Amino acid sequence: MPARLTSRRLPEQGFTLIELLVAIAIMALISVGAFGFLHSTSVSAERLATKQKDLLALERLQGVIGNDLSQWVDRPIRDELGDSLPPFVLEPGGALEFTRRGFSNPLDKTRSDMLRVRYELRDGRFWRLSWSTLDRLPGMRPLASPLGPKGLSLRWRVQGRPGDKINQVWPDTASGASGQSRTVLDQGAPEVINLDMKIAPWGDIRRVYWIPGHDTTQ
């Protein structure tokens, strides 16, 4: 008799529950590690962008100050109350104010090319204020622009001439900047301006500005 052919069903192949749980656990660990790496990279990029932005703001601040000081002019003004103010004032509270040239006039209007600028710290920010009219009228508001990064602290110091004593107020007189005598109004500007700044993470930064109109070869 011919042999009878019979078929055998092979056992079905698959994953056990334990194998599935192990695979899921491995995928979870890989996902957590990848997410942590991506998050760390994102945080580092944000910190780097913030530092770069603050550094650019700090460089712009120093450039604006240098540009203003380079165009200083010996011109007293009158404030809103009609009192005379010297051409260059460093107040005891740390605010710096002076007259400068270079006020742009693209429409060729009949007016002066001078303006008054002021630097001060208020509301936790460093500000540049400017008045297009030198002798101010009551109620006149300046144009205010924030400068530099937040969290900046600074201190102005001046010297009448190199080697002179360092002052934190100017004019260097007993009556100070509020005096109305010709001695105060005619004193002009100091020759050397020291600007000490402190900002994280760069620490202490010092800039020295020379005021034009002095003989810097001495």
Looking at the domain assignment, is residue 49 inside a domain? no
- pLDDT, one tens digit for every residue, the chain (218 residues): 555 555 555 555 666 878 778 888 888 888 888 877 777 777 777 777 777 888 888 888 889 999 999 999 998 988 888 888 889 999 988 899 999 987 766 666 666 788 899 999 887 789 999 988 888 888 888 999 998 888 888 899 998 888 888 888 998 765 455 545 455 566 778 889 999 988 887 788 899 998 876 433 33
Report pLDDT for 218.
Answer: 33
**Whether 132 contacts 194, CB under 8 Å:** no
Produce one character per residue of 67-106: b if its CB has 16 or more CB atoms within 10 Å, e if not: ebbebbbebbbeeeeeebbbbbbbbeeebbbbbbeebeee
Instruction: Please give the torsion angle defined by the CA atoms of residues 167, 169, 172 and 175, in that order, rounded to the nearest 10 degrees.
Output: -150
pTM above 0.85, yes or no: no
Looking at the domain assignment, is residue 7 inside a domain? no
Looking at the domain assignment, is residue 51 inside a domain? no
Report pLDDT for 111.
Answer: 65
Domain count, the chain: 1
Q: CATH number of the domain that 205 lies in? A: 3.10.610.10
Looking at the domain assignment, is residue 136 inside a domain? yes
Report pLDDT for 18.
Answer: 81
Looking at the domain assignment, is residue 26 inside a domain? no
Looking at the domain assignment, is residue 9 inside a domain? no
Looking at the domain assignment, is residue 35 inside a domain? no
**Whether 28 contacts 35, CB under 8 Å:** no
Looking at the domain assignment, is residue 198 inside a domain? yes
Range of the domain at 100: 56-210
